[in-house]
Amino acid sequence: MIKTLGLISLVAFATAHDQPFSGSFMSKEEKLGLMEKAKEMFYHAYTNYMEHAYPADELMPLSCKGRWRTKENNRGDMDDVLGNYSLTLIDTMDTLVVLGDLPEFDRAVSKVVTSVTFDRDVVVSVFEINIRVLGGLLSGHIFAQHFKENSNHLQWYNGELLAMAKDLGYRLMPAFNTTTGIPYSRVNLRYGIKKDQLHYFQETCTACAGSMILELAALSRLSGIPIFEEKAHRSMDSLWSLRHRSSNLMGTVLNVDSGDWIRRDSGVGAGIDSYYEYCLKAYVLLGESRYLSRFNKHYAAIMKYISQGPMLLDVHMHRPQINSKNFMDALLAFWPGLQVLSGDLKPAIETHEMLYQVVQKHNFIPEAFTTDFQVHWGQHPLRPEFLESTYFLYKATGDPHYLNVGRQVLNSLQKYARVECGFAAVKDVRTTANEDTMDSFVLAETFKYLYLLFAESEDLIINIDEYLFTTEGHLLPLSLSVQPQNYTDADKILDEDTDLPKRSCPSFDNLLTESIRKPLKNMVDGLCPNRKSRIEAREFAKIFQFGNENHMQRIKAMGIVITKLPNGLPLLFMNSSHESNPEDQIDGHEFLTELNIIMKDVNQKEKINSAKSVSFDNQDGQKVSLYAGAANFGLPLNLGLKVVARIAIANPVKGCETLINPNDVKEKIVLVERGDCMFIEKARKLQEAGAVGGIVIDNATDSSVITSRAFSMSDDGVDDVSIPLVFLFASEARPLLDMLNINPDLLVTISELPKETEAEIDSVEDTGTMINNSIDKLKKIIGDIMTSNDPTQVQLNFMILAFVLEFLFSITILLCRHRIGR
């Protein structure tokens, strides 16, 4: 197999540096000055860590002291990366090499070797310790060995960092003892996995399990011990087998023993990001085509379903046409950089430009922001992902625009994050208040990418193109692609459903980055409010929200008018007299066309979801089938799927709090009453208590499918319920409750409603609508009789009244004869 020795994307774009750019020019002197400023900022943070925090794991920059595990207020999952092993120093060693500071690198390696141990009774995140600590040790060893052989430094070094990496690798191995081979989320560094802790470690994120292959494969190839790489390959293979076969998308959280998805939302941000990154980089580093094939399949799915213009919005992996969130998180900022590596430059430029507009508005990228670019979560822990993508785009294009982007980020860090003892995370970008945190990745990645952005190749003491960046910014040599002799060839076989992977990158020799960015410059509301966002009208229809002021203004600009129907529902239509330009009018028609398609799809799904049944045997042994509405979440009762179980009643009956009778409801279908919380919250409480299904009974005593509109119970965008939930109006529920009083051990089935019964229900619903209309007419007639002074009109109204009453009486007789509910 032909192996690429350099970063594949950079070869493809080698000619891009000769392109003319209309953006602002940056002189070599100014660029050099920014490089020196980035270096000074790094040392301000690093020196304060060494003086005020080392050997603690992290620096607390506002308190000017170190953060130790258990010695400060516990921050929950955030502290699972800490282990009292000088985390920041290990994570930072190779940044010292990038900055060319070999004397300090020598001292740092010596401190790690002499003072760090992993024999600690502490539970840590398998993912975090792998990418930060194991990755830092491996990169540190590679450079220590290199400069021992090629300089006067580190002559004392004898592979100590590699020995520490092997020790840590063995301590991580118990996490891989799962049914699927996907590692537990956490492990005790001294005792492995204790049986009483298994339940707490069974759920892991896709990125957590799928971001081990680079470090563990490097450890195997440097040490000659194959078990590390073998475990990582098995984990990646298992994850690949759990993708949704129709969409080729991955979920976000899964159970490592059962392989069941806990959260099925799919995106490129938090919880899933580096899995996709490692699929591609495993091919680049290890030379195994199966990973390139997997990445290509995932990438095509992402661009089809998740990429919506320059935005990247989470969808349901099993229903990828439906967005699961209306906000994006900061971690997706790595994606343009990965697109550069894959050779797809145009969408990389577009998404990066969108992110840059967010930076211009908020100074940083907030942890999450909405589709109209407002703050959703305001924190900014000085993340590196945006700078990472900026660096790779500059390296691929040579466009000085990206130098100016980097300068703005540098200035924001100086203005809003620099404090006396380092750099402090921003608590909220809206207030620019700081918090007492400086994560290790600030030194390992943020300042590394900032420095590299402004550095020339002659400023570096290593050839950066001979290395691959891990997700933590650690450098692994591409020479690791040479297979060790004791590694099995069986793993080189492609997946059975793999097609020939795409090994060449598209050519963008004539692509001008300025022309791609220009249409996106005013996406963020407030920068240029007189110009609308250039998101395609059809894509805009997918995210349109009634009541969102920015959205309403945009459709108004298209010439779309909104009015309300008598039933209160909104009606949208084009106003031909509206003074909008032809382009806006075309957008308006496109928007309405797409919205109509979406609403038809939603209505069809609601109709499908609403046709469910609750059935049981009455005292005479006859089957009773009750019409039930369904949910847009949980187990779909389609294609003959049904749940049969004894019935129980939740306590508390609303089912909005943790049930106090879990033993009574375990493995049963549980009744809950409507009200006090969302339907999906009730389902979660039932699932938590061990129920196999749930029936929600309406809290309106006289409600009925005949007189009430059927509906599907909605979700909240988090797909974590796996049991079915159905809904009964009060009238339909009475036969069930009566039978339950007679037989507390009643066996109930919830399933899809038979087609013939569904047709009867539709007929009855139509009849119910006629009754409601007749009742409204009756009320009006009675009102006219009471207020009219005209004897002739009164007599006529009495005749109409008699006719309506006769009609209602006839309908009542028909309904009594109808076999609904039997």
CA atoms within a 13 Å half-sphere pointing along the CA-CB vector of 642:
15
- Concatenating the DSSP letter of every residue in 698-741 gives -SSTT--TTTS----B---S-----S-EEEE-HHHHHHHHHHHH
Instruction: Report the alpha-carbon distance of residue 605 to residue 518 in Å, rounded.
Output: 40
Residue 350 falls in the annotated catalytic set: no
Cβ neighbours around 433 below 10 Å, total: 12
The string of DSSP codes covering 551-606 is HHHHHHHTTEEEEE-TTS-EEEEE-TTS---HHHHHHHHHHHHHHHHHHHHHHHHH
Annotated catalytic residue within 106, 265, 277, 367:
367
The CA distance from 437 to 768, in Å, is: 62
Per-residue H/E/C for 345-392 = HHHHHHHHHHHHHHHHHHCCCCCEEECCCCEEECCECCCCHHHHHHHH
367 classed as catalytic:
yes
The catalytically annotated residue of 101, 128, 350, 752 is 128
Structure-block tokens of residue 422? 């380092």
Residue 471 marked as a ligand binder: yes
| Residue 536 falls in the annotated catalytic set | no
User: Which pair of tokens denotes residue 207?
Assistant: 């990125």
Amino acid at 144: A
When computed from its CA atoms, the radius of gyration of the chain, rounded to whole angstroms, is 32
Q: What are phi and psi of 204, to 5 degrees?
A: -140, 160
Which of the residues 160, 273, 399, 584 is marked catalytic?
273
Reading the block at residue 784, the tokens are 């006219």
**SS3 at position 157:** coil
Chain-centroid distance, C-alpha 147:
41
Answer whether 1's CB lies under 8 Å from 289's CB.
yes
Listed residue (316, 819, 311, 821) closest to 605, CA to CA: 316
Selected catalytic residue, list 385, 472, 584, 594: 385
Residues in the chain: 822
> Cα separations (Å) of 616 from 549, 623, 686, 821, 822?
50, 6, 21, 11, 10
Whose structure tokens read 């459709």? 555
C-alpha distance across the termini of the chain, in Å: 68
Known active-site residue 458 = no
Torsion angle defined by CA atoms of residues 472, 474, 475 and 478, in that order, rounded to the nearest 10 degrees = -40
CA distance 144 to 125: 27
Residue 166 contacts residue 219 (beta carbons within 8 Å)? yes
Cα–Cα dist 750/615, whole Å: 7
Check if the beta carbon of residue 525 is closer than 8 Å to that of residue 360: no
In terms of Cα–Cα distance, which of 241, 233, 267, 266 is closest to 251?
266
Which residues line the annotated binding site for Ca(2+)?
471
Which residues line the annotated binding site?
471
Catalytic residue ranges: 128, 273, 367, 385
